[in-house]
Structure 1
Amino acid sequence: TQNQIVYFIRCTPVPITPANFEATVQFGTVRGSYIPALLRLLSGVFAPQIFTNTTWPESIRNHFASHLHRFLACLTDTRYKLEGHTVLYIPAEAMNMAPEVVVKDKELVQRLETSMIHWTRQIKEVLSAQESVETGENLGPLEEIEFWRNRCMDLSGISKQLVKQGVKHIESILRLAKSSYLAPFMKLAQQIQDGSRQAQSNLTFLSILKEPYEELAYMRPKDISSKLPKLISLIRIIWVNSPHYNTRERLTSLFRKMSNEIICLCCHAVSLDRIFEGHVTSSKEDLQGCIACCQAWKDHYLWAVQMHTQFSSRGWVLDQTSIFAQVDAFVQRCKDLIEVCDCQYHFARWEDGRQAPLPRFFGAQGPQITRNLLEIEDIFHKNLHTLRAVRGGILDVKNTSWHEDYNRFRTGVKDLEVMTQNLITSAFELVRDVEQGVLLLDTFHRLATREAIKRTYDKKAVDLYMLFNSELALVNRELNKKWSYLEPYMAQYSGQAHWMRILRHRIDRVMNCLSSAHFLPHIGTGEESVHTYQQMVQAIDELVRKTFQDWTLTLDKDCIRRLDTPLLRISQEKAGMLDVNFDKYETQSDSLPCCARPQLSPERDSRLSVPRAVLVWNSLICCNSGTSTTCL
């Protein structure tokens, strides 16, 4: 790569010739960065010529030299600050002169005082640099360790510069001149020595945190919790043993930096793109892991406070509110993003990178309900796109604009909740039986976790159980009829039992549908309906048993003689028709009385087909009454 450049500048717009080249063209070279090159050019070429020039008038030379010293001091400071170092600019103007001679030149003494004022300003900046790093909101413990390492290098570098011959020579000159700027500088120089020792001590103690925190960088939030007690114990070791890093402010700042580190690790584990692209399930797991990690950090800290207070004579005087302010804000931000994931699941059918199938609605208004549901999804996607536009600052807890954007999103979601409630209400207007209602509630079940929609959902569940109650009332009314309608081919007792079992099957089918609907809420109306169903089932079973008992009382002990009776007879109700001429019942042989069981023996099973033959004959009579009589 090229590391230097040669430049040519034409000072006046005249033709360039070999004779006027040096007078017309200014040229030179610049190596490396432009600031170091400029400093090197001024210090090595121009400054020596200017300071040794005796041809200029005294006033002009003093004025120009004063400004040049100021510029070189600022340029030197800027050049080395780029590398993180502090370098004192030492004027070379009086280096070869005895202090007694320099003191007589008041203008030169003033220029040296200007340089010492600049040194004083530089040293004050270095000494106050700790305040800026303590208030850093996004820095972590590793940055704190790096700061003290750089501070050690910087302070030790300044200490070495303070004992250089050039600095000592200027000190001796200003001491002879009784300068008022010397005492503050010497006081700051002593503070530099003390600060260097403190920085080295702090670095030694903070270095025990480096390895554990470097391990955290490769861990998931859910795995960080097990490492937190050790880190807190190490900070307590620093607190108890460090002679300089044991102040309330520095320890509070260190714990706050630990909170920053945990937040930073959690931010790396959360993908905003996956959240807004519909990976709802996995994103919620990541966010809940971050919340659990932050809560574990807080719990371990409080446990350490309790143990320290119980067994240590030194009180725990740290500012807990300051330590966990950003952690609490980050936890709330994670909860907001979980709500965004829930909204995608509820209003856009997103699960984990894919959309669930669109539900189908029955009836003539089914297509219209589907269109309304798609309209809700479109509106939600627009609101989500607006929120995603500011995703760069979503996880930044200091980004206060997030609250405004999220509140607008929540307002849009509330409007969608109202639209969904109206959609559920209109869809239930078409429900005429329990099975249809269960299908609809199953369709909208994913929305029932939202408080506003849950109220409507629970109300429709009550309406569903009211439909079941209506079904139970109809069956109860049928049971309470004095005479039930029976088909002509059905016997009195077995027909009544069969009719009651049909009624039970009618309510059993509905109850099975409700029982399999695990998503139905537990409400008082439902429990009452189930209790009414159970009572009705018991009543039906009791009626069936009573009917059977009444039938057994009508049987003769010598029932075998009844088989001698003709199987067919002419119907007395309808001319030309036939009717069966033996008892008709439908039950199992093992529940019959002993006297009636021979009639159902296997060799007599053919008699049970007589009712079917009667039905066929009567059908022929009805279809062809003129010829059937002749055939008979």
Structure 2
Amino acid sequence: MESEVASEVPSGSGAISSVASSRFGHEEGDQAEFIEDDVSQGDVLSPEDIDLLVEKIKNFTTLYDLRMEDFDNEVVEIIKKFITSPNENILTIFYDEDMLVASLGFPEVDFDDIMYFLKEESESGSIKPLTPENFATSIMFGTMDSPVEGSILRIFETLYVPIFLNTTTWPDSVKGDYCSNLNLFLSHMTDLRYKIAGLTAIYVPRAAVNIPFNVAIRDKRFIKRIEDIVIDWTCQIQVALNDQDQSRPYNMFTPIDEFEFWKYRYENLCGIKAQLENDDLIRITHILKANQSAHIDRFEEVISHIEQALLEAKSNVEYLQILDDPCKEFELVESPASS
């Protein structure tokens, strides 16, 4: 399963305690006293409030094939500890095989999907105590699937990147530097996610799609950022073309192994070719051409070799396929005498 849900409700100014406002910036003793006040607030929850918060967490939990009866007493007790303890800031809920498990940390076992709840910190740095009234503004929650890198990528692309791109309070230079680093991070994360499967995936930054063409070609900082991305694309494609061992999942001992490898390579190269026909990617190359960027020449030189590599892979697949059935028959032979 590969779907992610990430929800975050930013806390408003009304959620900040007036006590915190009056004591913020005072001496260490006052700050320690404020933290003690926070701790004491966690002890005043009534049993009814705790039960209500438990129900909220249960109702917010979204896992594949989740049933309410899976929340046994052990899970509920851990949820209650998360609610009442001022020192516990994260709760995770997941299935360990067929059993629902709650943990006050990140699990060390494999999981298909996981729900997390993260308490927000107050201005003093202490963890905000939960109440039924402040639950929506004091908790960040969401789900993550396995493999985790896919979830991280999806959450960043669909949630955090649009928020960042719409931010208008940062200076242009700061936002530009951050955007450049963010693009490279997402490019490497995309590469990692698909490289595990032996595939080459090209990341196209959202910011490059949204900016008008006539604005983009005059923005030197923007040009520098997309040049960095195109350099990354060039390296990825060059590796895919040159390193024929990068996606071999096993050592090749038989013609069947060789056949499977070339079939695998052909599919990967077809995927690269299809990605290069993406309208947003083509738009980026047009922007760089309009600026006479030297990096676009190198990129186009590298991709010009894809067609030849595809023909080679296709030819090898066609000829090796002739040996596929005879080799499979040999695998069934138990001894030379029976052949």
CA distance in 1, matches of 2:188, 2:245: 23
Say yes or no: does 1:156 pair with 2:282.
Answer: no
CA distance in 1, matches of 2:170, 2:136: 23
Say yes or no: does 1:47 pair with 2:156.
Answer: no
CA distance in 2, matches of 1:206, 1:74: 34
- CA drift at 1:223: 4.1
Name the SS of the counterpart of 1:181 in structure 2.
helix
Name the SS of the counterpart of 1:178 in structure 2.
coil
CA distance in 1, matches of 2:210, 2:247: 42
- CA drift at 1:221: 4.2
* Greater RCO, 1 or 2 (C-alpha within 8 Å, sep 6+): 2
Aligned length: 224
- CA drift at 1:107: 1.3
After superposition, the C-alpha distances for 1:581-609 in whole angstroms (9 at most, x for unaligned) are xxxxxxxxxxxxxxxxxxxxxxxxxxxxx
Does the 8 Å contact 1:30/1:37 carry over to 2? yes
Does the 8 Å contact 1:133/1:144 carry over to 2? no
Does the 8 Å contact 1:99/1:176 carry over to 2? no
1:51-450 superposed matches below 5 A: 51-130=165-244, 139-223=253-337
Structure 1 spans left out of the alignment, 5+ residues: 227-632
Q: Counterpart of 1:252?
A: none
1:109 partner amino acid: I
1:128 partner amino acid: N
Q: Counterpart of 2:114?
A: 5
Structure with more of its chain in helix, by fraction: 1
CA distance in 2, matches of 1:64, 1:22: 29
CA shift in 2, pair 1:83/1:29, >3 Å: same
- CA drift at 1:38: 1.3
- CA drift at 1:27: 1.0
CA distance in 2, matches of 1:114, 1:34: 26
2:116 partner amino acid: Y
CA distance in 2, matches of 1:152, 1:168: 23
1:191 partner amino acid: H
Name the SS of the counterpart of 2:158 in structure 1.
helix
- CA drift at 1:117: 1.1
After superposition, the C-alpha distances for 1:560-588 in whole angstroms (9 at most, x for unaligned) are xxxxxxxxxxxxxxxxxxxxxxxxxxxxx
After superposition, the C-alpha distances for 1:272-323 in whole angstroms (9 at most, x for unaligned) are xxxxxxxxxxxxxxxxxxxxxxxxxxxxxxxxxxxxxxxxxxxxxxxxxxxx
1:605-620 superposed matches below 5 A: none
After superposition, the C-alpha distances for 1:167-206 in whole angstroms (9 at most, x for unaligned) are 1100001111211111111011111122112211111111
CA shift in 2, pair 1:133/1:114, >3 Å: closer
CA distance in 1, matches of 2:258, 2:328: 13
CA shift in 2, pair 1:177/1:19, >3 Å: farther
- CA drift at 1:156: 0.9
1:27-42 superposed matches below 5 A: 27-42=141-156
CA shift in 2, pair 1:21/1:169, >3 Å: same
CA shift in 2, pair 1:44/1:117, >3 Å: same
- CA drift at 1:91: 0.9
Name the SS of the counterpart of 1:29 in structure 2.
strand
1:509-520 superposed matches below 5 A: none
CA distance in 1, matches of 2:273, 2:236: 13
1:94 partner amino acid: A
CA shift in 2, pair 1:54/1:173, >3 Å: same
Name the SS of the counterpart of 2:297 in structure 1.
helix
After superposition, the C-alpha distances for 1:258-279 in whole angstroms (9 at most, x for unaligned) are xxxxxxxxxxxxxxxxxxxxxx
Q: Percent identity?
A: 32
1:59 partner amino acid: S
- CA drift at 1:208: 0.8
After superposition, the C-alpha distances for 1:489-510 in whole angstroms (9 at most, x for unaligned) are xxxxxxxxxxxxxxxxxxxxxx
CA distance in 2, matches of 1:137, 1:28: 40
Name the SS of the counterpart of 1:94 in structure 2.
helix
Structure 1 or 2, whichever has the larger Rg, is: 1
Q: Counterpart of 2:103?
A: none
Does the 8 Å contact 2:198/2:247 carry over to 1? no
CA shift in 2, pair 1:222/1:67, >3 Å: same
Does the 8 Å contact 2:227/2:288 carry over to 1? yes
- CA drift at 1:70: 0.8
1:61 partner amino acid: K
- CA drift at 1:22: 4.0
CA shift in 2, pair 1:131/1:31, >3 Å: closer
CA shift in 2, pair 1:210/1:97, >3 Å: same
Structure with more of its chain in strand, by fraction: 2
Does the 8 Å contact 2:115/2:143 carry over to 1? yes
| TM-score, with length taken from structure 2 | 0.61
Name the SS of the counterpart of 2:205 in structure 1.
coil
CA distance in 1, matches of 2:205, 2:213: 14
Name the SS of the counterpart of 1:217 in structure 2.
helix
Name the SS of the counterpart of 1:28 in structure 2.
strand
| TM-score, with length taken from structure 1 | 0.34
1:421-570 superposed matches below 5 A: none
